[in-house]
Structure 1
Amino acid sequence: MASPPIPIQSSGRRRGSAARRESRDFHDTIFDTVSLLGTSYLSTAPIAQEILARDLAELEDDEQHERDEECRSDDEEDVEPPIDVGSLPVGHLVSRPGGVAYGTLRPIIASEMQGSPIVCETDVVESRAAERSLLRDNHLLPPKHPRSPDDPLWKKMYRRLFSTKVPVSDKAFEETPLLQEYPLPPSPTISEEINQWERAVAQNMLKTTWQREAQTITKYSRSLIVTFLLHYSVTVTSVFTVGRIGRLELGAVSLATMTANITCYAPVQGLSTCLDTLCAQAFGSGHKKLVGLQLQRMTYLLWLLLLPIATLWWFSGGVLHRIIPDPDTAALAGMYLRVLILGTPGVAAFESGKRFVQAQGLFHATTFVLLIGAPLNVLANWFFVWRMGWGFTGAASAVVFTQNLLPFLLFLYVRFIQGMECWNGLSRHAFSNWGPMIRLALPGMIMVEAQYFAFEVLTLAASQFGSAHLAAQSVLVTVTSTTFNIPFPLSIAASTRVANLIGAKLSDAARTSAKVALCCGIVVGLFNMTLLSSLRFKIPYLFTKDEEVAAIVSKVLPICAVLQLVDALAAISHGLLRGIGRQGIGGFTNLFSYYLIALPISFSTGWALGWQLQGLWFGVAIGLAVVSTVELWYLHQADWEHAVQEAENRLRSDEACHQSQRRESK
C-alpha cells in the first residue's frame, strides 16, 4: 500500500520560529518519504524545496488546513497499526515514463529538472508484477505455467524464440524435479518475494533477455506513440487543409508556425517543465493540494507572459515583411498569427495541466483527451474552412478551437474521472512566491528555446528561396516531424526502462535493454526511410496540388529519408543517456551539432553550392549523424556499474542533506 501523507502540525498564525518548524516538518516529510521509496530518490534542487516549504508555511490560515486537522483527528481515533517499513513493497521497476514533451512540430528533448519517480499504490503494484516476472524469468520463482519435458517440438521452438525466460539447457531441466530448483514455496508471500529479490540482486543473479526487454519497451511506448501522433495530428490536419487552398497559404502557415514556436510555444513549454519537479515533489511528499497550487501559479505566470506575445503577434505582419522577401506571404502569416492569439491561453493551460496529471501518475489522461480532441479537430477544419467558407482564416480558427478544447477536456477528465484529490480550489496563494519558481523554470526555457530555434531557423532560411520553397519546407517539416513521433516515444520508453534497471542495481540487464532499444530504433528508422523513399512522388500530393512545390518536395525527400535512420538513433541514444543520468551529455551534444555543424553546413550548401532546400536538409542530416555517432560512442564507453553507484550516491546524498537540514533547524 502507498504510504499515507505525514500530517503537518498547524494552529493559528505562525511566524518566526513556527515557520521554521513548518519548514523542518516539510524536510522531515521528504526524508521519511525517501526512506520508504527504496532506490527512488527526490530531486535535491534547493529552489524546489524552498518553494514547497514556503507554500506550506503560507497555507496555515486556510480553511483546508482546518479540515485536514479534523480529518486527522478522526483518523487518530481509529488508530492503525504502525507501518513496517521493511515489509513495504519496493518500487524498483516502476513503469513511469519520464521526459514527456510533445504537441509541437518536433518533440523536445526533456529538461534535466525532472521530478523524481514518485511511487504511488498503482506504481507499487506494477513494480511488484515486473519484479515477479523477472524472478520467474531467472527461475527463482515458480512459473505461472510450468512446462513439461514432453512438450512437442514446435512448442519448444516457439519457446526458444519468444519466451522471456533466461535459457537453461533442456538436459538440466529434464534432470531437475519440478519446483525443486526454486528456493521458495509454490505460492510465496510478498515478504518472501521481496527477500528473494534482494538476495538475487546482491548476488548478481538476475539477468534479462531480449524478448523480455522488447516486450517491456513495446508496452511502455505504445500508448506514448498514440498520444504523440494524436497531438501532432492537430498540426498535420491544419497543413493538409491549407495545402489544398494554395501554395502561398501553405508557405504562410509554415512561417507563422515557426514564429509561434519560437516566440510562444517554446517559452511556454520550457517554463512549464519546472512543474515536473514541483508537482512531483508535492505529490510525493504527501501534500497533494500543493500540486494544484503549483498548477495555478504556473498557469497565471504563462497567461501574464502571453500579453507581450499577443502584442508581437498582432503586429507580426510588418515584422515578418522586414525579414522575408515576399510581402504577401508575410501578410498572410501575420493574419494567421492574429487568429492564433485566441488559442494561446489554451496552450498555456494544457501545458500546465499535462504536468498536473502526470505528477499523479495519470499518463493516460492526455491520451483519452486526444482521442476525443483529434477527431473534433478534423471536423473543425472541415467546418470552418469549407462549410463556413472562411478559407485560410478558417484553418487558424480550427487550431484555436482545438487549443482551447484540449484543456477543457482535460478539466472534465480530472473533475469527473480521476485527479481531483490534488485540487483544492482557486487560491490567493497562487499569486505569491513566483520568484523561486521563475528561477527554477528559466533554465528549462532556455534549453527548449535553443532546440526550437535550431530547427525553426531553417524555415526562415527557406523563405529566402521563394514561396514555392517555403511551401515545400512546410510539407517536409510536417512529414519528418510525423515520423519522428515514433522513435521519440520509443526513446522515452527506453529511458524509463534503463533508469528503472539502473535504480534496481541491474547494470547487466540495463545494458541488454539498451541494446534492444537501439535495435528497435534501427528498425523504426529503416521503416521510416523505406516509407519516405518509396513514396517520394506520392507524399507531396497529399499536401498540395502545386506541381512546382511537389517537385521540390520529391527532390528533397531522399535526404529526409536517409535522415530518418540517424534521427531515430539520435533519439534512442539520448533517451538511454537520460536513463543512466547523463542527459547533460546529450543536451550539449545536440546543441553543439545543431549550431556548429548542422546550420553552418546547411547555409554553405544551401547558398554557396546553390543546393537551396536540399542543402538546408543536407546540413541537418550531417548534424544528426554527428549527434548519433557521439552519443553511441559515449554509451559504448560508459561504465554502467558506475551509473548504478551514482544512483546510490544520489540517494545517500539526499538523505545526508535532509539530515543536515534537520539538525540545523533544531
Structure 2
Amino acid sequence: MADSRSGPQPIHSRSQGRRQSVLSEFIPESLPYPPSFLATSPIVREILARDIAECSSDDDSQTQVSDAESQTDGRPEDAKLAFHPNGVAYGSGYSTIAIQGLDRPVPNPREVEDSLQAEISLLRDNAILPPKHPRSQRNNVFWRLYRRLFSTKIKDHEDPEPIFQDAPVVETTPLLGGGTPEVDETLPTPPAEEIYERFEEAVAAQAIKTTWQRETKTLVQYAAPLIVTFLLHYSVTIGSVLTVGRLGMVELAAVNLATMTASITCYVPVQGLSTCLDTLCAQAYGSGHKHLVGLQAQRMTWLLWILMVPIAVLWWFSEPILSAMVPDQETASLAALFLRVLIVGMPGVAALESGKRFVQSQGLFHATTYALLIGAPVSFALNYLFVFKFDWHFAGAATAMAITQNLLPLLLVAYVRFLDGSQCWNGLTRKAFSNWGPMIKLALPGMIMIEAQFSVLEILTIAAGQFGTAQLAAQSVLVTVTSTSFNIPFPLAIATSTRVANLIGAHLSDAARVTARVAIVAGFIVGCFNLTVFVVLNETIPRIFTEDDEVVGIAKRVILVCALMQIFDALAAVSHGILRGVGRQAIGGYANLFSYYLVALPISLSTAFALDWKLSGLWTGLTMGLAVVSALELLYLYNADWESAVAQAEERMKSEDVSNEAKLSPA
C-alpha cells in the first residue's frame, strides 16, 4: 500500500500531451504559461524565522512546545482538499475583481477535518469507500431520472441504464410497481490514516473522478456562508446610504463622494496591506507556533494605526480638495463633514481587518459572521436613532457608521475571549514593534494591486460629480446596488479558487476542469439573475434609496446598463477565481488593469463627455471593460494546459512549505 507521506505520485495525462479546455473538448493550440509566481514564500520564511528567534525566552519556548504538542494528528500535509477562503477577510464591496491571493496557507485542524470529509465524499462517489447510508435500488422511471439528475455517484452517470426502459419483470416484482427495496451493503468508514492512503492510491491510479452534481454541491456549501458574511458586511454601508437618501439629493451625493474617498484613501489600502496576514497567520498557526498568530495580528494593527494618522489629517482638511473635484460646494462641504466624523471609526477599521485574519487562520470563519449578525442590525438602529430621533441629520449617519466600525472588532474580541480562539493570544507584547521591514515588503504588492483597481471607481465618481448633484446622487444609488449584487458572484469566485486549487494540488486536473465548468455556468446564472432583478425593478430599486424624482429618473435609465454589466461582472469574478486556483492570478491582475485603464476608463470618459451620455456613458465604459476582462480570462482558460498547472502547483507548494523545521528554526 502506498504511503501518502511519500509525496504525490506523478500523474500522466490520458490525452498524452493534448491540452484540455475548460469550455470544450475541442480546442486549439494552448498559450504557454508564464513563469511561476513564487516571490512571497522566502519573505514569509524570513518573517517567521525572525519571530521565532526573538521569541526564544523560556516562557516562549514553553509556549512553542505546547503549541507543537497541541497539533492534532491530522497530518496537515495530507489535507489537500481543505477549504481556505482567503478572500473572506477582504471582501471588496465594489464592482471590481478582487486582488490575487498569496501563498497557500497551512491547514489548521478544522480544515484538516474538512479535507478528510471531502476526500471521503470523492472516494464514496467513486465506489472506493462504502456508501454513507443504505441505498435503495428502486428501479422505477422517476427514481432513475432522479439519480441521473442529482446523484453525485460516478456509476449513476457512466453508461447509465435507459431511463424509460421498463424494468424486467421477475417473481419478486411488486404487482403495483415501485421495485424491490434492495440496499447496498454499508460498512463502517475506515480510520483517517487508511482514508489518506486509499485517496493517494486512487489518485496515483487515476481512479478519482467527479461529477458536476458533486462540484455544484461543494461550491454551494463553500459559497453560501461567504455570501451571508459579505452581504452583512456591506450592509453597514447600505444602512448609511439608505438613511441619507431620505434627507435629500445633496446628502445622497455627498455620502457617495465621502465613502468613495474613504475607500480609496483608507479602507482599500488597509485591506490590501492586511492581506499578508492571510499567509503569515495561517503559516504561523499551521507550523505549530500559535503564539505568533497574535503577534502578527498585533504588528499589523499597530502599523495600520500609525499609517492612519496622516490619513486622518487629510480627511480633516479634505474640504478644499473635494471642492476642487466637484463643482457643487454644498456637496463637497457635506462630504468633508462625513469624512471628519469617520475619523473616529479608523481604529476599528484597522483592528477588524487584523482580527478577521486572526480568527480565520484558526479556521474560525464564522466568528466574523457572528459579529456582523449583531453589528449590522445595530448599525441600522443607530442610523435611525441618530438621524431621525436625535436630529443629527447628515452627521448622524456618519456617527452611526463610525460607531459600528469600532463595535465590530470589539465583538470579535468578545468571541475570542469567551468562545474560541484565545489559544493564539498571549497578550500585548513589545515584540510587535520589531521586524516590520519584511512584513511591509510582503504587504505592499497587495496594497498596490487593489489600490490600482479601486482608483478607477474614484475617477468615475469624480467624473459623475461634474454633471451635477443629481447625477452624483444617482451614482451613489448605482454604486451601492451593483456593489451589493457583486457580493454574490465574488464569494462564488472565492469558493471556486479554493476548490480548483485543492484539486490541482491533489493532482486531480480532470476534476478541476469539471469544477471550472460548473463555476462558469454558475457565474453566468448568477449574472442573469442579477440582470433580471435590475430590469424588472429598475424603478423600484432607486426609490428604495430616494424619493427625488430627478435622481430616480436618472438611476432608472442607467440601471439598465448596470443590468447588462452583471453578466460580465459575474463571469469576470469567477474566471479570475479559477485563474487564482491554478496559480495564474498574475494573468488576471494584468488583464484587470489593462481592461480598466486602457478600455473602461477611456470609453467611460469619452462617451460621458464627448457624446454627452453622462452617467450612462460612465457605466457603459465600465461594462465594456468588464466584458474585455471576462473575455481575456476565459480565452486564457480555454487554452489552459491543466496538466502543466498540476506540475507547477507541485513546485509552488514545495517552495511555500514553511512548516519545515530546518527553515523555521533560528540559526
User: Per the shorter chain, which TM-score range?
Assistant: 0.7 to 0.9
Which residue of 35, 51, 57 corresponds with 1:55?
51
Separation (CA, whole Å) in 1 of partners of 2:79 and 2:182: 27
Q: Retained in 1: the 8 A contact 2:249–2:470?
A: yes
User: Following superposition of structure 1 onto structure 2, how do residues 134-533 of structure 1 map, counting pairs within 5 Å?
Assistant: 134-166=122-154, 167-169=157-159, 187-533=189-535
Q: Retained in 2: the 8 A contact 1:115–1:281?
A: no
Give 4+ residue runs of structure 1 displaced > 6 Å after superposition: 34-39, 82-85, 171-175, 178-182, 655-663
Q: Retained in 2: the 8 A contact 1:529–1:565?
A: yes
Separation (CA, whole Å) in 2 of partners of 1:630 and 1:380: 44
Q: Which amino acid aligns with 1:601?
A: I
Measured on the aligned residues, the alpha-carbon RMSD in Å equals 3.1
Aligned-pair CA distance for 1:455? 1.6
Q: Retained in 1: the 8 A contact 2:135–2:183?
A: no
* Unaligned runs of at least 5 residues, structure 2: 10-36, 169-180
2:616 alignment counterpart: 614
Q: Retained in 1: the 8 A contact 2:268–2:447?
A: yes
Aligned-pair CA distance for 1:306? 0.9
After superposition, the Cα gap between the structure-2 partners of 1:654 and 1:100, relative to the gap in structure 1 and judged at 3 Å, is: closer
Aligned-pair CA distance for 1:148? 4.7
Separation (CA, whole Å) in 1 of partners of 2:49 and 2:211: 45
SS class of match (1:465): coil
Q: Retained in 2: the 8 A contact 1:115–1:278?
A: no
SS class of match (1:581): coil
Separation (CA, whole Å) in 1 of partners of 2:253 and 2:99: 31
Separation (CA, whole Å) in 2 of partners of 1:83 and 1:368: 26
Separation (CA, whole Å) in 2 of partners of 1:633 and 1:503: 23
Separation (CA, whole Å) in 2 of partners of 1:316 and 1:276: 33
Higher relative contact order, chain-length normalized (CA < 8 Å, sep 6+) = 2
Separation (CA, whole Å) in 1 of partners of 2:661 and 2:67: 26
1:623-662 deviations in Å (ceiling 9; x for gaps): 0000000000101100111111111122444579979969
Q: Retained in 2: the 8 A contact 1:594–1:620?
A: yes
Separation (CA, whole Å) in 1 of partners of 2:284 and 2:664: 19
1:31 alignment counterpart: none
Percent sequence identity is 58
Separation (CA, whole Å) in 1 of partners of 2:6 and 2:367: 27
- Which has more helix, going by share of residues? 1
After superposition, the Cα gap between the structure-2 partners of 1:372 and 1:335, relative to the gap in structure 1 and judged at 3 Å, is: same
Which residue of 96, 111, 116 corresponds with 1:128?
116
Aligned-pair CA distance for 1:510? 0.5
Aligned-pair CA distance for 1:37? 9.3
After superposition, the Cα gap between the structure-2 partners of 1:386 and 1:129, relative to the gap in structure 1 and judged at 3 Å, is: same
Q: Retained in 2: the 8 A contact 1:529–1:564?
A: yes
Compare 165-174 and 243-252 and name the one that shifted more: 165-174
Aligned-pair CA distance for 1:188? 3.8
Q: Retained in 2: the 8 A contact 1:94–1:500?
A: yes
TM-score (norm 1): 0.87
After superposition, the Cα gap between the structure-2 partners of 1:42 and 1:295, relative to the gap in structure 1 and judged at 3 Å, is: farther
Aligned-pair CA distance for 1:113? 5.3
After superposition, the Cα gap between the structure-2 partners of 1:185 and 1:340, relative to the gap in structure 1 and judged at 3 Å, is: closer
After superposition, the Cα gap between the structure-2 partners of 1:186 and 1:438, relative to the gap in structure 1 and judged at 3 Å, is: closer
After superposition, the Cα gap between the structure-2 partners of 1:388 and 1:477, relative to the gap in structure 1 and judged at 3 Å, is: same
Q: Which amino acid aligns with 1:542?
A: I
Separation (CA, whole Å) in 1 of partners of 2:376 and 2:247: 21
1:46 alignment counterpart: 42
1:67-111 deviations in Å (ceiling 9; x for gaps): 667x699x8xxxx9x9999x8882121122232344554176454
Compare 505-514 and 320-329 and name the one that shifted more: 320-329
Q: Retained in 1: the 8 A contact 2:76–2:112?
A: no
1:526-567 deviations in Å (ceiling 9; x for gaps): 000010011111111111111111111011011000000011
After superposition, the Cα gap between the structure-2 partners of 1:339 and 1:190, relative to the gap in structure 1 and judged at 3 Å, is: closer
After superposition, the Cα gap between the structure-2 partners of 1:214 and 1:64, relative to the gap in structure 1 and judged at 3 Å, is: same
Q: Retained in 2: the 8 A contact 1:272–1:352?
A: yes
SS class of match (1:60): coil
* Unaligned runs of at least 5 residues, structure 1: 1-33
Aligned-pair CA distance for 1:424? 0.6
Q: Which amino acid aligns with 1:428?
A: R
Which residue of 106, 115, 120 corresponds with 1:118?
106
After superposition, the Cα gap between the structure-2 partners of 1:155 and 1:42, relative to the gap in structure 1 and judged at 3 Å, is: farther
